[in-house]
Amino acid sequence: MSIEQIIVLALIQGITEYLPISSSGHDILVPALTGWPDQGALTDAITNVGTVLATIFYFWRDVVSMFRGLLDLIKRQTTASSRLVLNVIIASIPVMVLGLIFQITHFDEMLRSPLIIAINSIVFGLALYAADAYGLNRNRVADITPKTALYIGLAQMLALNPGTSRSGITMTAGRALGFLRSDAARFSFLISIPANAAGSIVKIGHAIKNHDPITGPMILCGILTFFIGLMTIAFLMRLIRNHSFLPFVIYRVILGGALLGLIYSGFAFGKLN
């Protein structure tokens, strides 16, 4: 990879993993729009490690609390920490199971299409608008129950469809369930840790098994992604304290519309995907 591609990929992963605009969708679009060769699943996995570490670093207090909660669960003690980690586990299981199925069947490769990204960008962008505009603002992370955690976890499964946005669909579910924007985002990021970590471990393990090299440019891309991710989390958490998700909805609709225009005009992506 060239230094330009490394920087662009790090920017896209570090920004779009947290903003509700689909990181996987942008990762697929970059080579399609620039003519660069696809960076591959291994590079995506390593940049994903960068965002996982950024999430852990930013929410380190919650991560420490979850480790304490694991010990409390083992001791069969009910505490705020044990409830938090239990809800994170419940919300993470559905997408991890489906992700494993996709990994075995390679079904996810069939979804890497600009047309699917365009449609999902618009549809789930409008869903985010509806949930944010009409959702109540009364629940906090401490109010999450196993039932609501499962609902958010089931919604997270949709993120395996490129263009949906993992953070976007889980924040949409959180807002629909009446959670404050900041708390919907916070829980969304916490449940990203096990899901993204598991996905990256599987892909990196598969690469090692096949003797695929982990190169210096890949590692550099992951490091850059870490720092960009930290800045993006801080930006989003500050923004949504006083503003809605409307700017991201508008971006998604414009992006989806532009992609549909490029596809149907034949200007990019060749024939209709």
Q: DSSP string covering 92-114, please? A: HHHHHHHHHHHHHHTGGGGG--H
For tokens 């003797």, the residue is 211
48: enclosing H helix or E strand: helix 40-58
214 compared with 18, residue with greater pLDDT: 18
Question: What amino acid is encoded at 248 in this protein?
Answer: F
What does the DSSP assignment read for 198-212? HHHHHHHHHHHHTT-
Residue 271: is its pLDDT beyond 60? no
Q: Which pLDDT score, from 0 to 100, does residue 273 have? A: 46
109 compared with 127, residue with greater pLDDT: 127
Percent pLDDT > 70 in the chain is: 94
Average pLDDT over residues 176-192: 96
Among residues 165, 186, 164, the alpha carbon closest in space to that of 175 is found at 186
What does the alpha-carbon distance between residue 131 and residue 148 come to, in Å, rounded to a whole number? 15
| Token pair in block for residue 111 | 């979804």
Mean pLDDT over the full length of the chain:
89
3-state DSSP call for residue 228? helix
Residue 180: is its pLDDT beyond 80? yes
How many C-beta neighbours within 10 Å does residue 43 have?
A: 24
Average pLDDT over residues 69-76: 93
Task: Among 73-82, 106-115, 124-133, 222-231, name the one with the lowest average pLDDT.
Answer: 106-115
Q: Which pLDDT score, from 0 to 100, does residue 154 have? A: 97
261 compared with 39, residue with greater pLDDT: 261
Residue 144: is its pLDDT beyond 90? yes
Q: Which pLDDT score, from 0 to 100, does residue 272 have? A: 45
Average pLDDT over residues 228-246: 95
| Confidence (pTM) | 0.90
Average pLDDT over residues 145-162: 94
What does the alpha-carbon distance between residue 249 and residue 174 come to, in Å, rounded to a whole number? 16
What does the alpha-carbon distance between residue 160 and residue 124 come to, in Å, rounded to a whole number? 13
Residue 161 DSSP class: S
Number of H helices and E strands in the chain, helices first, is 11, 0
| Token pair in block for residue 197 | 């970590």
Residue 270: is its pLDDT beyond 60? no
Q: Which pLDDT score, from 0 to 100, does residue 258 have? A: 85
Residue 35 in contact with residue 1, Cβ under 8 Å? no
Residue 175: is its pLDDT beyond 60? yes
Residue 268: is its pLDDT beyond 70? no
Among residues 100, 96, 73, 50, the alpha carbon closest in space to that of 191 is found at 96
Residue 25: is its pLDDT beyond 70? no
pLDDT classification of 28: cutoffs 50, 70, 90 = low
H-only helix segments in 160-180? 166-176
What does the alpha-carbon distance between residue 85 and residue 66 come to, in Å, rounded to a whole number? 5
